Structure 1
């Protein structure tokens, strides 16, 4: 089974996550903080998967989601803020 970013979302909160063989390898939690805005609060990846790019994949998926929905992202999670700082192409959703 491939490691694909998935999304669970409702009108208040959501989570991007990566699952393999029914094990969650990483997740990124966000809240809907305004009509056209989400705030990403927390990102975590299992110890075995740290450093393999899963966090960046989830941030990329969040950026794609924001672009599709026409919303902005507030990166309150330090990891997500770091990814935004080093990825100029993501600035359009800030």
Structure 2
């Protein structure tokens, strides 16, 4: 059986989620403050590590922020490092 990977926004839990089939395998938690979103924690199930899923989650979260004209605060060290390495997202920083 082939499982697909999907990214969703779970507003009731304040997180972006990555699913492999029906299994939740990664997430980024966030907090909203006015027109800013603070990406506070990134986590990928260790069984699915090393496949670029954390990066996909960050890209999804940044696209979400851009589409809603939100500025981004990166309390999560992984997100902060990603932003430091990707100048194309510099305009999103709070």
* Kept in 1: contact 2:5–2:21 (CA 8 A): no
Pairwise CA distance, 1:21: 2.8
Q: TM-score, normalised by structure 2?
A: 0.89
Pairwise CA distance, 1:55: 0.7
CA distance in 2 between partners of 1:45 and 1:89 (Å):
24
Q: Which runs of 5+ in 2 are unaligned?
A: none
- Name the Cα RMSD after superposition: 1.3
Q: For this pair of structures, how many residues does the alignment match?
A: 91
Q: Aligned runs of 1:25-40 on 2, under 5 Å?
A: 25-33=25-33, 35-40=34-39
Q: TM-score, normalised by structure 1?
A: 0.89
CA distance in 2 between partners of 1:68 and 1:23 (Å):
27
* Kept in 1: contact 2:39–2:72 (CA 8 A): yes
Question: Which segments of structure 1 move beyond 2 Å, counting only runs of 4 or more?
Answer: none
SS at match of 2:5: coil
Whether 2:51 is the aligned partner of 1:23: answer no
Q: Give the aligned partner of residue 61 of structure 1.
A: 60
SS at match of 1:24: strand
Q: Give the aligned partner of residue 81 of structure 1.
A: 80
SS at match of 1:60: helix
Q: Which runs of 5+ in 1 are unaligned?
A: none
CA distance in 2 between partners of 1:38 and 1:54 (Å):
20
